[in-house]
């Protein structure tokens, strides 16, 4: 995966947000930005095209 590929950007953004959230929790500060509810994440996992379980 090259640095110019969209997947790389998504990974780096997710990693950056995870680190920022961990630092906020460590410092007792509120995290910023939206976070999907568990049910929203599960709906993505259980999407209509999921065939393996």
Instruction: Give the up-direction half-sphere exposure of residue 37: CA atoms within 13 A in the CB hemisphere.
Output: 3
| 5-14 pLDDT per residue, tens | 768 998 999 9
Are 23 and 13 in contact, with CB atoms under 8 Å apart? no
Q: How far apart, in whole angstroms, are the C-alpha atoms of residue 41 and residue 35?
A: 10
Q: Which tens digits make up the pLDDT trace of 27-39?
A: 999 888 888 899 9
Percentage with pLDDT > 90 across the chain: 42
């Amino acid at each position: 995966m090259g640095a110019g590929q969209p997947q790389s950007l998504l990974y780096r953004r997710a990693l950056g947000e995870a680190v920022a959230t961990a630092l906020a929790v460590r410092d007792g500060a509120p995290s910023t930005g939206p976070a999907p509810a568990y049910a929203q994440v599960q709906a993505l996992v259980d999407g209509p095209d999921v065939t393996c379980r």
